[in-house]
């Protein structure tokens, strides 16, 4: 189980987003793979689903993941990899 500092200055959803971002950057969750489901993360982090949805939304806004309807949330980019403009 991963620990979340509930008393610290960083909100839990940001801590979870950071942990997922680190796993993506390290290659633990490579591009094309699904991140853990909300149910799996709920058990791992012991937080409400709304908190987890916020964490996933952060990664979505950063362009790291996308939701595939009925399939889950998949990694589409690695932190620091910027597409050519």
Instruction: Out of 1.10.3260.10, 3.40.50.150, 1.10.10.10, 1.20.1260.10, select the CATH number for domain 12-75.
Output: 1.10.10.10
pLDDT at 30: 97
pLDDT at 85: 45
pLDDT at 83: 56
Rounded to whole angstroms, the Cα distance separating 35 from 69 reads 14
Global pTM value:
0.90
Model pLDDT for residues 28-84, shown as the tens digit of each residue: 999 999 999 999 999 999 999 999 999 999 999 999 999 999 999 999 999 987 554
* DSSP collapsed to 3 states, the chain: CCCCCCCCCCCHHHHHHHHHHHHHHCCCCCCCCECCCHHHHHHHHCCCHHHHHHHHHHHHHCCCEEEECCCEEEECCCCCCCCCC
Model pLDDT for residues 2-13, shown as the tens digit of each residue: 789 999 999 999
């Amino acid at each position: 189980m991963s620990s979340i500092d509930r008393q610290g200055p960083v909100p839990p959803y940001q801590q979870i987003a950071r942990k997922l971002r680190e796993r993506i950057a390290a290659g633990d969750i490579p591009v094309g793979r699904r991140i853990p489901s909300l149910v799996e993360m709920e058990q791992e982090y012991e937080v409400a689903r709304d908190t987890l949805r916020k964490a996933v939304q952060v990664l979505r806004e950063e362009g790291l993941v996308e939701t595939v309807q009925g399939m889950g949330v998949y990694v589409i980019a690695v932190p620091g990899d910027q597409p050519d403009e």
